[in-house]
Structure 1
Amino acid sequence: MLFNKITIKKYLFLFILSLPLFYFFYDDNDLFEITKNLEIFHSVYKNIHESYIEKPKSGELIKTAIDAMLNSLDPYTNFIGEDDIEDYRFQTTGLYAGIGGALEKINDKLYITEVYDNSPALENGLVPGSEILSVNDKDISKLSVAEVTNLIKGEAGTSVKIKFIPFRSNTPVEKNITRREIKSQNNVYFTILKNNTGYIRLQSFTERCAEEVKKAVIELKKQNIRSLVLDLRDNPGGLLMEAIQLVNIFIPKDVEVVFTRGRTSNWYKSYRTMENPLDTNIPLAVIINENSASASEIVAGALQDLDRAVIVGSRSYGKGLVQNTIDLPYNTKLKITIAKYYTPSGRCIQALDYSQKDKSGRVLKVPDSLITAFKTKNGRIVYDGAGITPDIKTKSENLSAILLDLNQQNFFFQYAYHYALKRNTIPPPKEFSLTEQDVQEFLDLLKEKKYIYHSDQENLLKEFKFSAENDSIYQEIKKEYEELFNGLGKIQEKLLLKNTPVIKEFLEINIINFYYYSKGKEEYLVHKDNEIKQCIQILNDEKKVKEILTKIESPQKPFNSQKKF
């Protein structure tokens, strides 16, 4: 236990010696509080190691303490331990070393459910529907999906031995597959749609994604597109500089895209476009939704403030906080919130105020009374404090809970598996369509598998019964309770019937995955999407685009004194 008594004291002593470096940031009271609390922490930690009934695990104790401390700040300030470095690398680069496939456990068997184009998995016959039997001679039947995934991942250039039963085969094969750097599948997907409209979907802002988007625009322009849709729905953000470079594709050189303000002057920074643009004139629409966050909001907010694009969809998430990653000892990192970002008009779109919490610890939204108005370059009114509000609002259709349940239990995949077993080919994705008879076969499969949907309401009733069963009042309402409970049980058939059109689409997507893999699914979804269709309609009307980007309305809130335009 020498480490506990000596090493901790050493680090505490070194930290206290370094405190004069902080004089620029803290007054005497702050320094006293820091020193006092570090001494208390050291004393607690030391006494746990010396006296606790069971020998504690040092690493786990410290990790728990660090996580609890950071959780009290905001969800984006995180400690990244040595074991989490690979996941962090994947989030920032979109790269990992592996074979390029996704796994799911279905009926206690492990199947490949998705493969990436040009991946080692696909090249070695590991297609959707292939059953994994072992990895490096290790039986995986009792391992979780995450554990098997970790076995398959490794350093690029090394090999992994996988025993599997190929789809449409009964004979196991064993292959040594060389791991490669795998790029997050289809981070940038692009195609041409109706009326020569280009379409680009960006999944996340990882390294070099702006360059990939630029290449996509160049390819689409070679095919004479007349307008462009940039889809940032469900894009959680990522690297700030990638967002700035993406905006630069459509905005002239030396224009401010975003600026940041932090607690210290070091983070009072302005970020401007650095290069000549690719195209400043092509009619442009950006689609966002409630899951578009951070870098996605920088792009949408900048293009809206500069009146360069029509923003379509639903209000974005509202993450206006900037994180910086600091290297720590022993290959660990600290990702810490250091500033807020502001769009060119001067607005911050942060929706939650993490410094303000109610008595239950719930974070409060920026109050309506503090929301203020700003102007875009053309004088249009926009607001801060609640994400990016689209110029054209669309209503997102929330998936029924029964559909999510069917998907989670892999019923769509199971039907697609048996469908693909019987057919070697199907029409191209945008032409493929199931018949009513096919959909009915799926519904019959659910009956055969004795599928039962337990709704949230049903579960709440069960909880009520459990807590009230011994109460006299329950006996008085028992009959009404049972009638209500039985009524909920009968609702399954009605829900399935009501959601038949969406069930059909889910089945088609899963079947297409067996033949055309991920890109096939993208192609199918793009041609079905109502918000994309609305963008095409808007961009095809030059007068409408101009009207949207120049429309002046009276503000509903007072103007902010810091507005830029």
Structure 2
Amino acid sequence: MKLRKKIILGASALLVAGGLTAYKQDDRFFEIARNLDIYATMFKELNMYYVDEVNPNRMVKTSIDAMLKSLDPYTNFYAEDDIEDYMTMTTGRYNGIGAMIGSRQDKSIVMMLYEGTPAEKSGLQIGDEIVKIDGVDIKARRDVDPSKLLRGQTGTAVKLTVKRFGQKDPIDVSVMRDVVKMTNVPYHGMLNDEVGYIDLKDFMAAAGREVRAAYQDLKGKGMKKLVLDLRENPGGLLDQAIDISNIFIPRGSEVVTTKGKVTEWNKSYAALSPALDTDMPVIVLTNNHSASAAEIVSGVIQDYDRGVLIGQRTYGKGLVQTTRPLSFGTRMKITTAKYYIPSGRCIQAIDYSHRNADGSAGKIADSLRTAFKTKAGRPVFDGGGVTPDIEIEAVTPTPLAQSLTSKGLIFDYAVKYHHDHPTIKPAREFRLTDAEYQDFVKWAGDKEYDYTTQVEKDLGTLEASAKKEKYFDQIQDQLKALKSKMSHSKDADMKTFQAEIRTLLEGEIASQYYFQKGLKESSFGTDPDLKAALKLFGDMARYEKILKGK
């Protein structure tokens, strides 16, 4: 009898719980319908009575963006006009000319040319200022995006009117549009006789195929150790992260697991193909801008003790997005799950579901991070990105370098140098002479740029605090003397920070002749993360100890 009573009570509880769930679901649907009705009514009244004309598309897009902004940065709406950009982002292909256009002081400047594209073949040059596109004066048309005017059907020509350094009058350059393929691997090569290097900058379609091809090419050149550079890689497609991980781990090994609200979508992904190499020593370079798919690959390498990570802690994006089609050709990219790498950790660093009182999303405190273990038993932690095995302090540009770069003076001098020097040595060998550096200092002397050093900022804060707390009169003479002593001199700083400025100049100049490859190869001699990687590869006993957790 007691058992029967318990069963009846239990069944009643389930029915009540089921009823409550259904009630909550119906209640939520009612709230959605009610608010949509309010929104539609408000929009109708606004359109009818507002003093000025209302642009419906712009108004709705603004309201949608504001709504999604309250969730996380990765849930986005793509209007019909933005679909082409979305497809470029995922496939890496578009119909255009293959030039990166930047805005500087209301000028549209060619900042980079991609090798082998119509832009390079046409004779367009880095530093050219585009003033007209097919006769359209782009300065006079503020409503026009120059980059979109450059895109168009394959096989059609676009005429650019450009101002070029060293030429008095504008010139016309005709470029035949074609399919431009943005590469995921802008550079790969040998660092020395046995160490290969692959620079992976994106996880768009075909990223896995490109990395495999680069790997095989380097293996054919004698590669015995590999540096995989994932710095500044924002991530991309999940399937490409799985494919690239599969290069280094055996078939059947778990790569990533996704878990979200829709339990039917929860899935575990494993390596599907035979690995290319499970033994070759690997070092992965990461920094604070390595995110998402880049963190999956670096996390997999670390969790299986397959290689050593060097650099800075990664960004901490452990969220998965799914694209959903909407009406009238629009789309939404929505965060649907969190991902977990083989050790079981989720590296999501920011809690978007529980915001601070001011509405900002808070970082997960280090004290709340949970420890997990790699295959060899090394401790690793969740909730804050992937922490490298060897941490290298990030290089912070000096105020002088930041000012020269932001004002475009490094870029402008490189354009001038390219005009004055038809050829230079290969990027790895190219170095400015002392006389050439002094020429830059002299050239920059009458240019408009200034900066405030951190010491000057701190002295300003000290002075403000002294005035607020009534101590200023007592220390103003000392403050004045200290400010005078610490006040920066551009000429003196150009000498003090010569090594940093020269490195920036050499990289920018090399890119004028050799494009992205030149910029990369020019950095090999000064890159602290790369130096640390080569040093570790020179001490394989230490490499093995790190992987064993000793």
TM-score, normalised on structure 1?
0.85
Residue of structure 2 equivalent to 1:19: none
Residue of structure 2 equivalent to 1:303: 301
**Partners in 1 of 2:160 and 2:448 — Cα distance?**
34
Residue of structure 1 equivalent to 2:440: 442
8 Å CA contact 2:189–2:196 kept in 1: the answer is yes
CA shift, 1:118, in A, is 0.8
Residue of structure 1 equivalent to 2:241: 243
CA shift, 1:511, in A, is 1.6
AA of the residue aligned to 1:548 = I
8 Å CA contact 1:90–1:96 kept in 2: the answer is yes
For each residue in 1:447-477, what CA deviation from the matched residue of structure 2 results, as whole angstroms up to 9, or x when unmatched? 22243335688799999999xx9x9x99989
For each residue in 1:275-294, what CA deviation from the matched residue of structure 2 results, as whole angstroms up to 9, or x when unmatched? 11111111111110111000
* 2:172 counterpart SS class: strand
Residue of structure 1 equivalent to 2:407: 409
AA of the residue aligned to 1:147 = D
% identity of equivalent residues: 39
**Partners in 1 of 2:538 and 2:472 — Cα distance?**
65
8 Å CA contact 1:135–1:161 kept in 2: the answer is yes
- In structure 2, runs of 5+ residues without a counterpart are 1-20
- Equivalences for residues 89-104 of structure 1 within 5 A: 89-104=87-102
8 Å CA contact 2:186–2:516 kept in 1: the answer is no
AA of the residue aligned to 1:50 = M
**Partners in 2 of 1:346 and 1:492 — Cα distance?**
52
Residue of structure 2 equivalent to 1:344: 342
After the TM superposition, which of the residue ranges 498-507 and 318-327 deviates more from structure 2?
498-507
After the TM superposition, which of the residue ranges 430-439 and 448-457 deviates more from structure 2?
448-457
**Partners in 1 of 2:423 and 2:143 — Cα distance?**
30
**Against the structure 1 CA distance between its residues 452 and 478, is the aligned structure 2 distance closer, same or farther, given a 3 Å change threshold?**
farther
CA shift, 1:536, in A, is 2.0
For each residue in 1:240-277, what CA deviation from the matched residue of structure 2 results, as whole angstroms up to 9, or x when unmatched? 00000000111111111000110121231001111111
Higher relative contact order (CA 8 A, sep 6+): 1
**Against the structure 1 CA distance between its residues 394 and 461, is the aligned structure 2 distance closer, same or farther, given a 3 Å change threshold?**
closer
**Partners in 2 of 1:372 and 1:550 — Cα distance?**
21
2:123 is the alignment partner of 1:125: yes
CA shift, 1:485, in A, is 7.6
**Partners in 1 of 2:463 and 2:329 — Cα distance?**
52
**Partners in 2 of 1:500 and 1:543 — Cα distance?**
37
- Equivalences for residues 364-443 of structure 1 within 5 A: 364-443=362-441
After the TM superposition, which of the residue ranges 489-498 and 81-90 deviates more from structure 2?
489-498
- Equivalences for residues 141-220 of structure 1 within 5 A: 141-142=139-140, 147-164=145-162, 169-170=167-168, 172-184=170-182, 187-220=185-218
After the TM superposition, which of the residue ranges 55-64 and 346-355 deviates more from structure 2?
55-64
**Partners in 1 of 2:143 and 2:179 — Cα distance?**
21
Residue of structure 2 equivalent to 1:234: 232
CA shift, 1:316, in A, is 0.5
Residue of structure 1 equivalent to 2:42: 44
Residue of structure 2 equivalent to 1:542: 540
Residue of structure 1 equivalent to 2:29: 31
* 1:47 counterpart SS class: helix
CA shift, 1:478, in A, is 13
After the TM superposition, which of the residue ranges 315-324 and 109-118 deviates more from structure 2?
109-118
**Against the structure 1 CA distance between its residues 261 and 457, is the aligned structure 2 distance closer, same or farther, given a 3 Å change threshold?**
same
AA of the residue aligned to 2:365 = P
- In structure 1, runs of 5+ residues without a counterpart are 1-22, 553-565
8 Å CA contact 1:186–1:519 kept in 2: the answer is no
Residue of structure 1 equivalent to 2:315: 317
2:517 is the alignment partner of 1:513: no
Question: In the comparison of the two structures, how many residue pairs are matched?
Answer: 528
Residue of structure 1 equivalent to 2:252: 254
Which of 512, 524, 527 in structure 2 is aligned with 1:526?
524
For each residue in 1:79-131, what CA deviation from the matched residue of structure 2 results, as whole angstroms up to 9, or x when unmatched? 11122222222221222222112234567654433211111111111122434
After the TM superposition, which of the residue ranges 29-38 and 386-395 deviates more from structure 2?
29-38
2:59 is the alignment partner of 1:69: no
TM-score, normalised on structure 2?
0.87
**Against the structure 1 CA distance between its residues 141 and 268, is the aligned structure 2 distance closer, same or farther, given a 3 Å change threshold?**
closer
8 Å CA contact 1:320–1:341 kept in 2: the answer is yes
AA of the residue aligned to 1:387 = G
For each residue in 1:132-153, what CA deviation from the matched residue of structure 2 results, as whole angstroms up to 9, or x when unmatched? 3421012234456983222212
**Partners in 1 of 2:472 and 2:253 — Cα distance?**
72
**Against the structure 1 CA distance between its residues 365 and 133, is the aligned structure 2 distance closer, same or farther, given a 3 Å change threshold?**
closer
CA shift, 1:210, in A, is 0.8
